[in-house]
Amino acid sequence: MYIPLHGHSTFSFLEAISHPKNIVKKVKEMGLPAIAITDYTGMYGIPAFYLAAKDEGLKAIVGVELGFVQHLEGSYLAKNIGNICLIAMTDEGYYNLMKLVSFANQEGLADKPKIDFEKLKEWSEGILVFYGGADSRMGKMLISGEKEEKILELHQNIQSIFWEHCYLELVAQDEHLLPEVKKVNQLVLSLAGKSWTNIIVNNNYFYPEPKDKQAREMALSIKDGTKMYDAHRRQPAGQYHIMTEKEILTMCEKNGYSEEQAKSWLANNERIANEVDMKIKLGQALFPVYDAPQEIKELYEKHKDGMILYGE
């Protein structure tokens, strides 16, 4: 069974267009037991997603797609910072996911929210990682001319953190229309063989139905400040609705992969979904620990006796 593990809601602001409730509704209609949302750089839509899935009796797989670099102190252009996808497998993984997202948007913000090896290792417990496609870190490295040996080294470093919870992702899009996808998919197959890494398959959805394609392109135009009649506006080639298993298999066959290969990748998606064991505790507020700068602490100590506290 195909369980989508990579996709985006309207909370990937102006990159995707569907509210989490509508995604859950579509998945329910398709007869799927679970789906993941991996929005860019944030988890704003997770409460609505989790509650909607719970109401429909579905499993909400909580994830995020973050920028990733080897070392934060390095110099990177925003366009060259590739992504990785992270999924919370346990309650602890959910809390660690929030820590990583908070760090990426506070400390790793220069040019683009991002994390590095150090933070990934520090908050890895209970998390599963996967990556593939032209926008992934490995995809950016390949397209910029990096040698496969260097990309394999990167992968093995991440694999050493997550072990069996590290996967490579094959993107189910038309490789004839998207040569970069084909190039990265071939790399995925090569790295999987050299590192004994399992492969999952996704098309990376951005809207529920095929008919929503133009609405998404309109959102992209708003974000980019272009007009719908502009010749150079973003018009992503490919199919980015929530695909059925049949559509995934057909796309894999079109790209020259065997049915046996495709079904083995689909089985990995399903196994991950079955292994997710995470429950969000509702009815409570969670706030990050914030250590104020020393001058703020001194200012507080100086004036605290004259403060009026709410509730007094």
Band of pLDDT at residue 290, cut at 50, 70 and 90: low
Lowest-confidence segment of 173-177, 192-196, 301-305, 307-311 by average pLDDT: 307-311
287 pLDDT above the threshold of 90: no
**Could you tell me which CATH number the domain at 20-285 has?**
3.20.20.140
Band of pLDDT at residue 299, cut at 50, 70 and 90: confident
Structure confidence at residue 66 (pLDDT): 97
Max distance between CA atoms of the chain, in angstroms, equals 74
DSSP line for the chain:
-----SB--TTSTTT----HHHHHHHHHHHT-SEEEEEEES--TTHHHHHHHHHHHT-EEEEEEEEEE-S-TTS---GGG--EEEEEE-SHHHHHHHHHHHHHHHHTS-SSS-EE-HHHHHHT-TTEEEEE-STTBHHHHHHHTT--HHHHHHHHHHHHHHHGGGEEEEEE-S-TTT-HHHHHHHHHHHHHHHHHT--EEEE--BSSSSGGGHHHHHHHHHHHHT--TT-TTS----S--S---HHHHHHHHHHTT--HHHHHHHHHHHHHHHHH-------S----------HHHHHHHHHHGGG---TT-
Measure the CA–CA gap between 199 and 187, rounded to whole angstroms.
12
pLDDT, tens only, 236-249: 999 999 999 999 99
143 vs 302 pLDDT, higher one: 143
Which among 91, 97, 95, 87 has a CA at the least distance from the CA of 129? 87
59 pLDDT above the threshold of 60: yes
Measure the CA–CA gap between 210 and 296, rounded to whole angstroms.
53
Structure confidence at residue 172 (pLDDT): 98
97 pLDDT above the threshold of 60: yes
**Distance linking the first and last C-alpha atoms of the chain:** 58
Mean pLDDT of 50-78: 92
Write down the pTM of the prediction. 0.89
Q: Give the residues across from 61 on adjacent strands.
A: 36
